[in-house]
Amino acid sequence: MYAIVKVGGKQHKVSAGDKLKVEKLCQEAGTEVQWQPLLVVDGTEVLTADAHPALAVTAKVLGDGKLKKVLVFHKKRRKQYKKIYGHRQPYTQVEIVNISKA
């Protein structure tokens, strides 16, 4: 069984036990978060959130961190203009505990 969940403007395919990095959440480590999935696929049937509002995905917050640095480089040729800077995106790591259909 897996579900499609929208978190932070991005969609993720998750199953029970998966660990994933999502955009930073304002939750402390050890707390549980519950999301409304867009779609749940269970071997024989496909359930959507519109038809089944009781669908839920429960995740446990493991901690926060920052991703690898991405360098951004700007240059204008023949103008002696160069600029470089970096960005490290913050994230929250979560573990999917349960996908419930009830």
d(CA 99, CA 69): 33
The whole-number pLDDT of residue 75 equals: 98
Q: Which residue has the tokens 């490290």?
A: 88
Query: Are the C-beta atoms of residues 46 and 101 closer than 8 Å to each other?
Result: no
pLDDT in tens, 37-51: 999 998 889 999 998
pLDDT in tens, 46-100: 999 998 999 999 999 999 999 999 999 999 999 999 999 999 999 999 999 999 9
pLDDT in tens, 16-33: 999 999 999 999 999 999
Residue 102 has pLDDT above 80, yes or no: no
d(CA 35, CA 33): 7
